[in-house]
Chains A and B, each alone.
Chain A
Amino acid sequence: DGGITQSPKYLFRKEGQNVTLSCEQNLNHDAMYWYRQDPGQGLRLIYYSQIVNDFQKGDIAEGYSVSREKKESFPLTVTSAQKNPTAFYLCASSKWTSGRENIQYFGAGTRLSVL
């Protein structure tokens, strides 16, 4: 089945630690995205990538880093510089085009908590 796989489902971070969230897609989509969701709020864009080896900052990129070495994979690292990392993180992918051909499809999310 085609889809987006995020792992782990739950993640705990100790103070001063970097953690990496995995996102893999087999939809052959060019574009991938990372969003953060805080309780009772909508999604905010952290980073997005249009093509391999290229990515752009979203609205809240500080304290996060990404890489895009393969079309299928877009891991997100939450660094120790992110002082309030507790949130629900969602990965998405889409075709890089306009109109109804560009629908973002999401993974099941990773819930990150700080110990």
Chain B
Amino acid sequence: AQKITQTQPGMFVQEKEAVTLDCTYDTSDQSYGLFWYKQPSSGEMIFLIYQGSYDEQNATEGRYSLNFQKARKSANLVISASQLGDSAMYFCAMREERGSGSARQLTFGSGTQLTVLP
């Protein structure tokens, strides 16, 4: 069974600084995808970034990058030049890519609450 662990319940960062949010995962599959979502206080889940297990390069999307270390089974999110609007809950999620049906489900971690300080 797949499992996602986010060990930082809360993080603080100064505006304009970079911050890393940790995520480790557990799976026996070779083919899987890793996702990060942002959930502001309004509640909507916003997709940020995707990393495939066979991708050779770390994923980047604007100020977001994913530090993917396959051997360590970690997929940390790096936010550069933090902004006040980055204050939100951040969730790491994983999907095993084998077959179909239940294999397409996302499994979420418990989240990290990021607060950006002015």
Q: Between A and B, how many residue pairs show CB distances below 8 Å?
A: 64
A74-115: which residues lie under 8 A (CB-CB) from chain B? 88, 90, 92, 96, 98-100, 102-109, 111
Q: Are A43 and B43 in contact (CB under 8 A)?
A: no
Is A99's CB under 8 angstroms from B33's CB? Answer: yes
Q: CB of A23 within 8 A of chain B?
A: no
Q: What residues of chain A lie closer than 8 Å to B100, measured between beta carbons?
A: 50, 96
Residues of B within 8 A of A (CB): 4, 31, 33, 35, 37, 42-47, 50, 52, 91, 95, 97, 100-102, 104-106, 108-111
A45 with B104: CB separation less than 8 A: no
* Other A-B pairs beyond A41-B110, A98-B31, 16, CB < 8 Å: A43-B45, A43-B91, A50-B101, A50-B104, A58-B105, A98-B33, A98-B104, A99-B33, A102-B104, A103-B35, A104-B47, A105-B47, A106-B37, A106-B47, A108-B44, A109-B43
Residues of A within 8 A of B35 (CB): 103-104
CA distance A43 to B102 in the complex (A): 16
Asked whether, in the complex, the Cβ of B95 is within 8 Å of the Cβ of A102, the reply is yes
CA distance A98 to B50 in the complex (A): 12
- Identify 17 residue pairs between A and B in the complex whose beta-carbon atoms are under 8 Å apart, listed by A's number: A40-B111, A41-B111, A42-B110, A43-B91, A48-B104, A50-B100, A50-B104, A96-B100, A96-B104, A99-B33, A99-B52, A100-B50, A102-B104, A104-B47, A106-B46, A108-B44, A111-B43
Complex-state Cα separation, A44 to B91, whole angstroms: 12
Pairs A-B, 8 closest by C-beta atoms: A42-B108, A106-B45, A109-B43, A98-B97, A43-B108, A108-B44, A42-B110, A100-B50
Question: A42 touching B109 by the CB < 8 A rule?
Answer: yes
